[in-house]
Amino acid sequence: MTAKHMEKSCDVLPKEDSEGLGEYLPYVLVKHLQFCGYDLEINQYMNYKMGVSALIWECAFVLCQYFQQEKMNFSGKKVIELGSGTGIVGILAVLLGE
């Protein structure tokens, strides 16, 4: 089974409020992901000066795919997730520990 994802972009501000903002116009990039039988929706808030925390890093996708491939189970285990942007790895680890 391979991981599936799709994305769409949505404006955060109405068009009439966004005049003159140019490249600083905030928007939300919505990603729908499926890993290990779970449907996840991650909202990435772009142009909010959030830096690397607003993105889903490519390495996070790879680690989630690894969890899926290896049929990982975190029940009864302590897991610390450091630095995958939006926290998708930690979210999936929690779901796999239920």
- What would the pLDDT profile of 54-71 be if each residue is shown by its tens digit? 677 888 888 999 999 999
Radius of gyration, CA atoms only, the chain = 16
- pTM exceeds 0.95, yes or no: no
The dihedral built from the CA positions of residue 98, 78, 52 and 48, taken in this order, carries a sign that is positive
Q: Residue 11: is its pLDDT beyond 50?
A: no
Which spans in the chain are helix H?
A: 58-69, 88-95
Cβ atoms of 5 and 32 within 8 Å: the answer is yes
Least Cα distance to 69 among 42, 92, 48, 47 occurs for 92
All domains of the chain in start order, with CATH: 4-95 (3.40.50.150)
